[in-house]
Chains A and B, each alone.
Chain A
């Protein structure tokens, strides 16, 4: 422990102490009976525009985002910037679709996407498919938040051998588990406010102070090797990096709001209007994300890969160490403590929301659907609390014992899988036209092809689609969801004919979807 950065560590611990207190105190915020699932799992649906902004932002802009996006820019250059068009196109989608989903879920007391699909299509197997996809896609994402936390703890110089090395992570986990159990969604909502203030502070400091130290943007970009500065121009007969970039952006945008933690964040809003307003306000975070991608370039220009004091960090964490190294290099110790606390708290907030979202899904759409059809409110809330705990524990065990690269692969697959719920959830919010079994088959085809294509591409996100002598490298998730939709369209009239005169089950009505 002789390399510990004591000032930074003390501040880090102080911030964590504060948010621990806040997480428990949050149970009293807009007080409600936490033995009710919608109070524990959706904060009682009482979060107005501003709190929703912090919560969804805290949800979407995670520790992993802050570490991994700059790491990608540091390693691969311009392609990392896909995160910016991704968020630009995500918000119009959010604006159009999610108020409708909010309204129907509010009217019908749906807590999850699984509830919605069950009610809209009357098919418990389709709902189960959506539910399992959601849970499975969330798990590696939680694990990666813990990786973000691990990186900053390592960067503080805290080290040990064997399980002692993981002790800080375990402590953080215990804190997270405890306040999530006791306060539910109110805990990450309240902490998200603190986290975002810290993150904005850190991001602006990083984007103003560091370029000044490095001599201005001109000098920074001059230090970036030319192949990394822009997207590579495609060779003959291929759309190359251009189609990869655009499809990564569009596919990620479509998938983003299908994740259970996005749905939970949105459904906890107090009105459809709060949801719509956030579509215009959340882009504030996107700008910061763009700046963060640039931070990866600052790290190149600052030459943090060179100095021996960072070598151990890069060896252990790879390019994920770029941002911590840059901060250690550029900021005074006390600010390093704040910045790392921002990232660390930025891991806890989404991990909490993700585990709550997964718990909501299991409790409503697996346990209540298949095991105990009439739980009391208290039983339901209690089940969700336990599941949330188990999910987090699973993620912790995974991160401690399994190499990080596997979590990254699973996260990639998770993105490809979750987008397959788009027809049922997003298209389902507009029309009942699709046949529910056709949707299920479409989902299965999307999952199968998506997994196959990802494996064929060596677990990288893009697949080189070949057609008429041309190659179109593109995000596997986008290609397969299109296939999914086509299969569903083709099979809908077929299955409807086979089902003869069966009227489509739908417990929602048209007026449920708007105010």
Chain B
């Protein structure tokens, strides 16, 4: 009769990976610069656009890692 509760609604350490995105983009002093430019874009802009991609990848990793 013993039924392991397995992953049901359980906290997973993988979720901490999602926190990385928060730290990376919610601290403007860190990226409020124009240098270095990339393809003519100031750092402020390409940094945040890059984090859209990284964030999606991190979320995808967490999705796969925590999928039942």
**Residues of A participating in the B interface, judged by any CB pair closer than 8 Å:** 78, 81, 84-85, 87-89, 91-92, 95-96, 100, 216-221, 229-231, 233, 241-242, 245-246, 249-250, 273, 276-277, 279-281, 283-284, 286-287, 290-291, 294, 510-511, 513-515
> Quick one: CB contact mask for B48-68 with A, threshold 8 Å, 1 for yes?
110111011001101100011
A88 contacts B48, C-beta separation under 8 Å: yes
How far is it, in angstroms, between the C-alpha of A246 and the C-alpha of B28 when the chains are bound? Answer: 7
In chain B, positions 1-36 with a C-beta closer than 8 Å to chain A are: 8-9, 15, 18-19, 21-22, 25-29, 32-34
**What 12 additional pairs, Cβ within 8 angstroms, besides A84-B48, A283-B53?**
A78-B44, A85-B48, A96-B18, A220-B40, A231-B32, A245-B28, A276-B63, A290-B48, A290-B52, A291-B49, A294-B45, A514-B9
7 A–B pairs (Cβ distance < 8 Å), ordered by A: A89-B22, A89-B25, A92-B22, A229-B42, A287-B52, A294-B45, A513-B9
**Using Cβ atoms and an 8 Å threshold, which residues of chain A touch B27?**
246
B48 contacts A250, C-beta separation under 8 Å: no
Min CB gap B28→A, angstroms: 4
B26 contacts A286, C-beta separation under 8 Å: no
Residue in chain B with minimal CB distance to A282: B56
B39 contacts A217, C-beta separation under 8 Å: yes
How far is it, in angstroms, between the C-alpha of A245 and the C-alpha of B32 when the chains are bound? Answer: 11
A230 contacts B25, C-beta separation under 8 Å: no
Min CB gap A246→B, angstroms: 5
A95 contacts B18, C-beta separation under 8 Å: yes
How far is it, in angstroms, between the C-alpha of A280 and the C-alpha of B57 when the chains are bound? Answer: 7
How far is it, in angstroms, between the C-alpha of A246 and the C-alpha of B22 when the chains are bound? Answer: 10
A221 contacts B52, C-beta separation under 8 Å: no
A510 contacts B9, C-beta separation under 8 Å: yes
**Using Cβ atoms and an 8 Å threshold, which residues of chain B touch A89?**
21-22, 25-26
**Using Cβ atoms and an 8 Å threshold, which residues of chain A touch B62?**
95
Min CB gap B30→A, angstroms: 10
How far is it, in angstroms, between the C-alpha of A89 and the C-alpha of B28 when the chains are bound? Answer: 14
A92 contacts B59, C-beta separation under 8 Å: yes
How far is it, in angstroms, between the C-alpha of A219 and the C-alpha of B37 when the chains are bound? Answer: 12
**CB-CB under 8 A for A84 and B29, given A217-B39, A279-B63:** no
Min CB gap B22→A, angstroms: 5
**Residue among B22, B48, B56 making CB contact with A81, cutoff 8 Å:** B48
**CB-CB under 8 A for A229 and B34, given A221-B42, A286-B52:** yes
Min CB gap B33→A, angstroms: 7
Residue in chain B with minimal CB distance to A241: B28
Q: How many residues of B contact A (CB 8 A)?
A: 35
A280 contacts B56, C-beta separation under 8 Å: yes
Residue in chain B with minimal CB distance to A78: B44
**CB-CB under 8 A for A250 and B26, given A88-B51, A221-B40:** yes
**Using Cβ atoms and an 8 Å threshold, which residues of chain A touch B53?**
283, 287
How far is it, in angstroms, between the C-alpha of A85 and the C-alpha of B47 when the chains are bound? Answer: 10
**Using Cβ atoms and an 8 Å threshold, which residues of chain B touch A246?**
26-28
**Residue among B19, B49, B60, B67 making CB contact with A290, cutoff 8 Å:** B49
**Using Cβ atoms and an 8 Å threshold, which residues of chain A touch B25?**
84-85, 88-89, 249
Min CB gap A468→B, angstroms: 20
How far is it, in angstroms, between the C-alpha of A96 and the C-alpha of B15 when the chains are bound? Answer: 8
Min CB gap B49→A, angstroms: 5
**Using Cβ atoms and an 8 Å threshold, which residues of chain B touch A95?**
18, 59, 62-63
Residue in chain A with minimal CB distance to B18: A92
**Using Cβ atoms and an 8 Å threshold, which residues of chain B touch A219?**
40
**Using Cβ atoms and an 8 Å threshold, which residues of chain A touch B42?**
221, 229-230
**Using Cβ atoms and an 8 Å threshold, which residues of chain A touch B60?**
280
B51 contacts A221, C-beta separation under 8 Å: no
Min CB gap B68→A, angstroms: 7
How far is it, in angstroms, between the C-alpha of A287 and the C-alpha of B15 when the chains are bound? Answer: 23
Min CB gap A92→B, angstroms: 4
**Using Cβ atoms and an 8 Å threshold, which residues of chain B touch A229?**
34, 42, 44
How far is it, in angstroms, between the C-alpha of A96 and the C-alpha of B59 when the chains are bound? Answer: 10
B63 contacts A88, C-beta separation under 8 Å: no
The 3 closest A-B CB pairs, nearest first, are A217-B40, A218-B40, A283-B56
How far is it, in angstroms, between the C-alpha of A230 and the C-alpha of B15 when the chains are bound? Answer: 32
How far is it, in angstroms, between the C-alpha of A279 and the C-alpha of B67 when the chains are bound? Answer: 13
**Using Cβ atoms and an 8 Å threshold, which residues of chain A touch B9?**
100, 510, 513-514
A279 contacts B8, C-beta separation under 8 Å: no
A279 contacts B41, C-beta separation under 8 Å: no
Min CB gap A280→B, angstroms: 4
A242 contacts B40, C-beta separation under 8 Å: no
Min CB gap A290→B, angstroms: 5
**Using Cβ atoms and an 8 Å threshold, which residues of chain B touch A284?**
56
Min CB gap B38→A, angstroms: 9
B52 contacts A283, C-beta separation under 8 Å: yes
**Using Cβ atoms and an 8 Å threshold, which residues of chain B touch A91?**
55-56, 59
How far is it, in angstroms, between the C-alpha of A233 and the C-alpha of B62 when the chains are bound? Answer: 36
Min CB gap A21→B, angstroms: 34
User: In the complex, which of the residues A87, A233, A242, A294 has the most CB atoms of chain B within 10 Å of its own CB atom?
Assistant: A242
Min CB gap B65→A, angstroms: 12
**Using Cβ atoms and an 8 Å threshold, which residues of chain B touch A220?**
40
How far is it, in angstroms, between the C-alpha of A219 and the C-alpha of B41 when the chains are bound? Answer: 10
**Using Cβ atoms and an 8 Å threshold, which residues of chain B touch A283?**
52-53, 55-56, 59
